Amino acid sequence: MWNKGLNNSTAIQLSQSKAVTLRDYAIVTKTLIFYGYSIDKTTFRDKIFLSMKDNPIYIGWG
């Protein structure tokens, strides 16, 4: 996932239903944005975190 030029030390989780200006920040910093629909379903989020560099920055909420 990180071989496409994305910054693998930062990730942003957003809710599609919230208007958040972090999308502009993500574009500038080449940060991955993903949408979390359920707090109980963490498989995709866990995969992202396990593939990131040590001590990553995680911004946002589900």
Give the SS3 label for residue 33: strand
Which segments in the chain show pLDDT lower than 70? 1-3, 37, 62
Q: What pLDDT shows up at residue 6?
A: 87
| CA–CA distance, 49 with 56 (Å, rounded to integer) | 8
Q: What pLDDT shows up at residue 10?
A: 93
Q: What pLDDT shows up at residue 38?
A: 74
Q: What pLDDT shows up at residue 21?
A: 78
Q: What pLDDT shows up at residue 62?
A: 59
Give the SS3 label for residue 15: coil
